[in-house]
Amino acid sequence: MKKLTFISCILLGGWLSGAMAADKTQPVYKSAKAPIEERVNDLVGKMTLEEKIQQLNQYTLGRNNNANNVGEEVKGIPAEIGSVIYFDADAQLRNAAQKKAMEESRLGIPIIFGYDVIHGFRTVYPISLAQACSWNLNLVEDACAIAAQEARMSGVDWTFSPMIDVARDGRWGRVAEGYGEDPYTNAVFGVASVKGYQGEDMSDSKRVASCLKHYIGYGASEAGRDYVYSEISNQTLWDTYIPPYEAGVKAGAATLMSSFNDISGVPGSANYYTLTDILKKQWKHDGFVVSDWGAVPQLIDQGSAANRKEAACQAFSAGVEMDMMGHCYDRHMAELVKEGKITMEQIDDAVKRVLRVKFRLGLFDTPYIKETTEQERFLLPQSLATAEQLAEETIVLLKNEGNILPIATDSKQTIAVMGPMVKNNTELLGSWSGHGRVENVLGINEALDEEFAGKANLVYADGCDFDGEDTSKFSEALETARKADIVLLCMGEKRGWSGENTSRSIIELPAIQEQFIAEMKKTGKPIVLVLSNGRPLGLAKVEPLCDAIVEMWQPGVPGGKPLAGVLSGRVNPSGKLSITFPRSTGQTPLYYNQRKSARPNSGKYQDIPSTPLYEFGYGLSYTTFSYGDIKISKADIKRNEKFTVEIPVSNTGKRDGAEVVHWYISDPFCLITRPVKELKHFDKQLIKAGETHTFRFEVDPMRDLSFVNSNGERFLDNGEYYILVKDKKVKVTITD
């Protein structure tokens, strides 16, 4: 009897597992238990050409929040559409559109909803350029996870972020959106963002797919203008612009966005070498590439394609799987297939890539989002706390003559607070602030009133506007300043002066602001300049007029509160610049990892020093740190041998402070010239007053000392290298 039961259990188990897997009642692609690749292949095998082509298109949905016309909005999109850019933030419209796709299309393929969640969804945190100044990867990952939670719960499955374009020209408005001038910095913050957005499993209802953008070299747009030519040799492509993307792809980024710029004659959205040779063949990326908005038809404007059909053929053949709002694929792809210019094999590969991401997001099994209240989704206490801590850590103290800061609060000083940023909370949101709302932003004035209540006497005056020529309020400001012990000038840029299509010919503050600062200087009062801006500024004229300068960037919802904490001393600033501040526009481009000069002591400008005003990695603290000497575990190393360098850093001041140690390498001579130095590691530690922390870096020579050639082949030469921290360095010799 026992034997019979045992055998029957085996047989029954086998039948059940087979039945569950095969589940004859529904096709494999609808079975949540089947492996994703089986579901992808099963579905593609069932699709018609038209259905396949529709998956390669992205339209828009929900340009307004009027829930009454949900039906109208949904009517505008075909049930078979692959993706929409979703401008709304509630479940109704999204679920209505998804219902159409799931129930009115023949195969019920869910839509993937994308949106620009760049630095927060509703809990907007600092712009990316500022985030990098925190040098706090965990905090940035946490912030991206919050953005993902708010976005996914609002109907967005896919964010067009992180932007990891190395940028060295402050005239380019989009320098605000990336992590600065350095390849390594963009790589590690890009990876932190991908992890925060995607987590371990994108099907989680609080994660989203990421999108590395803009692939590639967009930050090299000529003269800081937007959408234009970028002169990028293959050598520079590999050693400067590729590292962040290679890191992001290896971190599992689901998608990439192809760029607008013309890469040395081949536009980023028609570039087979970058989009297929490198991305697909070398890196084996198995997600998909979406074009930037209209980048496919723009190949006509760029002189690459003669018409929309040719543009579709060029972009798709190069490796752009999805056409964002270009209406080239939907109108011409079928013809191109019939004419044999595009093969069905190419179409199937592209569709599989799109479906693969949709399966990984869990959209087939959970196509609809739960209807939740705004209170359940947005501005949660922990979200606000994370945004505030990140904003605090992005603040960079650029100057503090005579330690005028923090402002003493034991003597009820009178602080005159002026400038266009004081009450303009909207500007503090920064560009690409999505669903951020000004009512959630704490203004600088409100924050100062709270911070200094009972500790100082605050007096306000407008002073001047962001730009223009109105000096009519100068006299009132002068009077106010004369009654004060210290003058706080809150200046900078409007949020609209950064972001897409916002290049400026100069990076200096507008003349009216410089003029106002000079006027205030005439009062003889100590001047504290606070800057909120989305690019490095040319401060040569105003720097000598100010006793202290605080770079607060565009902090998002935390608004003026982190700044108020720094001014009162509640927060000890720890930010370090992620981008060089030139003295003036004329020095642009100016960045730390430049190649060396043939005549290091010549070739200078006649009219200004050739050094930056504030260099990459610069930032002051309210305490002081003293650096010991670098110790190396072994100075003669075999090629495949790791070694460790370490440096003691002591807090020699009177208060605790966080210090960031940047570890650089230099290769003094190489068959392909190397930058003067290259950032390869950093670490941030809180060091208590009077204590010492030893910072360590385990160097992997092939990873950290090697260089690439113009084909992307990596080499490690024998010979001498240096490991540098600030002005300290230690030599290491590599031998076979």
Candidates 279, 281, 311; CA nearest to 295 is 311
293 forms part of the interface with ligand GLC (CB under 6 A)? yes
Tell me, residue by residue from 493 to 512, as one string, x for binding to ligand GLC by CB under 6 A and - for no binding. Answer: -------x------------
Paired tokens of 356: 């693969």
Contact 452, 568 (CB under 8 A): yes
Under DSSP, the state recorded for 201 is -
List the interface residues with ligand GLC, window 398-417 (CB under 6 A).
none
What is the spatial distance between Cα 566 and Cα 572, in angstroms, rounded to a whole number? 6
Angle at which helix 329-338 crosses helix 344-360, to 10 degrees, equals 140
Q: Where are the beta strands (DSSP E) in 271-402?
A: 288-291, 323-324, 396-400
Contact 415, 457 (CB under 8 A): yes
Minimum separation from the CB atom of position 114 to ligand GLC (A)? 8
Q: Which residues of 53-72 are buried (b: 16+ CB within 10 A; e: fewer)?
A: bbbbbbbbbbeeeeeeebee
Candidates 500, 429, 425; CA nearest to 160 is 500
Minimum separation from the CB atom of position 347 to ligand GLC (A)? 24
42 classed as catalytic: no
What is the spatial distance between Cα 109 and Cα 351, in angstroms, rounded to a whole number? 12
Nearer to ligand GLC, 128 or 386 (CB): 128
Q: CA angle, corner 341, sides to 338 and 342, nearest 5? A: 80
Minimum separation from the CB atom of position 197 to ligand GLC (A)? 14
Q: Which residues of 273-289 are buried (b: 16+ CB within 10 A; e: fewer)?
A: ebbbebbbeeeebebbb
Nearer to ligand GLC, 142 or 292 (CB): 292
Minimum separation from the CB atom of position 178 to ligand GLC (A)? 11
Q: What is the DSSP string of 556-569?
A: -TTTTHHHHHHHHT
Tell me, residue by residue from 536 to 575, as one string, x for binding to ligand GLC by CB under 6 A and - for no binding. Answer: ----------------------------------------
What is the spatial distance between Cα 510 and Cα 713, in angstroms, rounded to a whole number? 46
Nearer to ligand GLC, 18 or 496 (CB): 496
Q: Which of 142, 169, 292, 462 is catalytic?
A: 292
What is the spatial distance between Cα 156 and Cα 116, in angstroms, rounded to a whole number? 9
Nearer to ligand GLC, 224 or 573 (CB): 224
Minimum separation from the CB atom of position 602 to ligand GLC (A)? 41
Nearer to ligand GLC, 500 or 641 (CB): 500
Candidates 288, 282, 241; CA nearest to 261 is 241
Nearer to ligand GLC, 283 or 293 (CB): 293
Contact 395, 620 (CB under 8 A): no
Question: Torsions phi, psi of 57, nearest 5?
Answer: -125, 150
Tell me, residue by residue from 234 to 273, as one string, x for binding to ligand GLC by CB under 6 A and - for no binding. Answer: ----------------------------------------
List the interface residues with ligand GLC, window 142-171 (CB under 6 A).
160
Minimum separation from the CB atom of position 227 to ligand GLC (A)? 9
Minimum separation from the CB atom of position 338 to ligand GLC (A)? 31
What is the spatial distance between Cα 255 and Cα 209, in angstroms, rounded to a whole number? 7
Contact 350, 53 (CB under 8 A): no
Minimum separation from the CB atom of position 177 to ligand GLC (A)? 7
For 436-449, the three-class secondary structure string (H helix, E strand, C coil) is: CCHHHCCCHHHHHH
Q: Hey, is 148 helix, strand or coil?
A: helix
Q: Please give the size of the binding site for ligand GLC, defined by CB under 6 A.
A: 6
What is the spatial distance between Cα 214 and Cα 293, in angstroms, rounded to a whole number? 11
213 forms part of the interface with ligand GLC (CB under 6 A)? yes
Contact 131, 189 (CB under 8 A): yes
Single-letter amino acid, residue 187? A
Which H/E stretch holds residue 511? helix 511-521
Minimum separation from the CB atom of position 328 to ligand GLC (A)? 16
What is the spatial distance between Cα 230 and Cα 244, in angstroms, rounded to a whole number? 18
Contact 477, 520 (CB under 8 A): yes
Please say whether the dihedral angle defined by the alpha carbons of residues 342, 344, 346 and 351, taken in this order, is positive or negative: positive
Mention every residue, 6+ apart, whose C-beta is less than 8 A from residue 404: 486, 526, 528, 547, 548
Minimum separation from the CB atom of position 501 to ligand GLC (A)? 8
Question: Torsions phi, psi of 433, nearest 5?
Answer: -95, 15
Contact 131, 143 (CB under 8 A): yes
Nearer to ligand GLC, 160 or 184 (CB): 160
Tell me, residue by residue from 100 to 139, as one string, x for binding to ligand GLC by CB under 6 A and - for no binding. Answer: ----------------x-----------------------
Minimum separation from the CB atom of position 84 to ligand GLC (A)? 12
435 forms part of the interface with ligand GLC (CB under 6 A)? no
Nearer to ligand GLC, 160 or 707 (CB): 160
Q: Interface residues with ligand GLC (CB under 6 A)?
A: 116, 160, 213, 292-293, 500
Positions annotated as catalytic residues are 292
